[in-house]
Amino acid sequence: MSKPSPLISVHQSNGATFADYEGWRLPRHFGDPAEEYASIRRTVGLLDFSNRAVLEFTGADRLSYLQGLISNDLRPLASGYGIYAAFLSQQGKVLGDCRVLATDDSFIVDLWEPLKPKILDHLNRYLVPTRWRSGI
C-alpha cells in the first residue's frame, strides 16, 4: 500500500485525482491538467515532494566527508547554489542520484525517498565526526 502524502487532506479538498508514484500516493492533477500547466506557466505553482528525502550535513568536516562520497566537486559550490550529483560506491558505481545545495554552514542533500535507507547505510560506513540529520 502506498504512503499518503502528509498534505492529502489539502489535496482532497482541492479536488485532486491521485496516483501511486514510487510507493507514495500523490496528486496527479486537480481536474484539468492542460489548464493547470498553463496556469503554472503564467503564474506559480506548488508541487508535493513528499516522495523526496532530505539530509543535512553540518560540521567542520562536511566538505571533506561528502567530497569523497559523491561524483561532483563541492569545493567551488557557493552558499545558495546547488549541483546535481551521484553517490558512488568505493568502486565508483552509482548508488543513487541527488541534488546538493550549499548554505553558509551546511550541505543539504535532496534525494528520492526510496534511496534513503541505502544511502544512509553507505554514509554510516564512512562516518567521521560530521553530523547529519534527516527530515529537515
Distance CA 126, CA 17 (A): 43
Q: What are phi and psi of 122, to 5 degrees?
A: -65, -45
Distance CA 41, CA 1 (A): 34
Please give the pLDDT value at position 135: 67
What is the rounded average pLDDT for all residues in the chain? 91
Residue 129, pLDDT > 70, answer: no
Q: Tell me which residue has cell 567551488.
A: 76
Q: Residue 136: pLDDT band by 50, 70, 90 thresholds?
A: low
Tell me the pLDDT tens digit for each residue of 66-90. 998 999 999 999 999 999 999 999 8
Please give the pLDDT value at position 1: 80
Please enumerate in sequence order all residues whose Cβ is within 8 A of that of 45, keeping only pairs 6 or more positions apart, or say none. Answer: 36, 39
Q: Where are the domains of the chain?
A: 3-42, 52-134
From 121, 118, 2, select the one nearest 50 (Cα to Cα).
Answer: 2
Tell me the pLDDT tens digit for each residue of 7-35. 999 999 999 999 998 888 999 999 999 99
Helices (H), the chain: 8-13, 33-42, 62-67, 116-125
pTM given for the model: 0.76
CATH 3.90.320.10 fits 52-134, yes or no: no
Please give the pLDDT value at position 45: 86
Q: What is the mean pLDDT of residues 93-113?
A: 96
